[in-house]
Amino acid sequence: MYVIFGASGNVGRAAATALRHAGHDVRAVVRDPAQRETFTRIGCETVHGDLDDESSLHRALDGAHAVQMLCPLPHRDPDPASAMHRMIGTAARALRAHPHLHVVALSDYGAERDEGTGITMLFHELEAVFKESVPRLTLLRSAEHMHNWARVLPVALATGRLPSLHHPVDRRFPTVAAQDVGVLAAQLLSEARDDDGVRIVSIEGPSRYDANDVARAFSEATGRDIAALALPRSEWTATLLRSGLGTNHAKLITDLYDAQNAGRIDVDPRTERRFGTTSLNDALAASTRTVDA
């Protein structure tokens, strides 16, 4: 039995689908009962699980031999870092009680760094805690997800300008489609792990892109003229707060992009490297259809 935490997210859904297509038994862990139909339709068992409820994690892990673990940043929490610290601890305690499991834990580019990377620092903590708690661990570090740009598409459509925290707008950065991350996660889960130890795999897309490429992809998908705009650093925090984020969450993001723009977040060359097949244009065209819907 393969257990997928965070099944309702883009990566989790792709992983569950890929495993089912390969004929494997899959248990999708969801928080919202309304999400169950998506997974029962493709033949998954579905269970309720909450990373703040350790007993629910043990129930989800019962009978499993491999698990994909995601500890997401809780966007609605006023102190998302503290909330994620708690979830990491809860997940680690549950996994420690199931030492036979092969765990594929989702992480980020830059997680090897121990300071000054904002949100990515939380994945550094996740990796450190899981390394001590999980005997048979695969860390899957992904580049920034392409679909994240859909968050600013409404602004781009309204103004013709795509605000970017990537500076300058012609600096290329690694990015990847969530679908490709999920497919690789499924592959890593299904590869037999009889040995204890830590394996680290990094994934990004087939090419690197810049913010200008993102604007052009949205222009092509929407038929509208859109140009990239480097949002001034002095406006980042106020813009993020206006978008509905809390102060602590905004600080995690500004620290992240300061590190990105300084070249401190990139692939760790010591890891195994994999490359997705989905282009930026294809990923953003799909995101555009979702926004339209």
Residue-wise pLDDT for 178-229, tens only, equals 999 999 999 999 987 778 899 999 999 999 999 999 999 999 999 999 999 9
Residue-wise pLDDT for 8-38, tens only, equals 999 999 999 999 999 999 999 998 888 899 9
The CA distance from 87 to 202, in Å, is 23
CATH number of 2-144+176-204+266-276: 3.40.50.720
Helices (H), ranges, the chain? 10-21, 36-40, 54-61, 80-96, 119-133, 153-159, 178-190, 211-222, 236-242, 247-261, 280-292
pLDDT value at 232 more than 80: yes
What are the structural domain ranges in the chain?
2-144+176-204+266-276
Residue 153's CB is within 10 A of a number of other CB atoms, namely: 21
The whole-number pLDDT of residue 293 equals 44
pLDDT value at 291 more than 60: no
Query: SS3 of 212, please?
Result: helix
Query: Cis ω on the peptide bond leading into residue 80 (within 30° of 0)?
Result: no
Which residue is it, tokens 């799909």? 286
Query: SS3 of 113, please?
Result: coil
b/e sequence 55-82, b meaning 16+ C-beta within 10 Å: ebbeebbeebebbbbbbbbbeeeeebbe
Q: What's the predicted TM-score (pTM) here?
A: 0.95
Strand duo 272-275 + 66-69: pairing: unpaired
Residue 38's CB is within 10 A of a number of other CB atoms, namely: 17
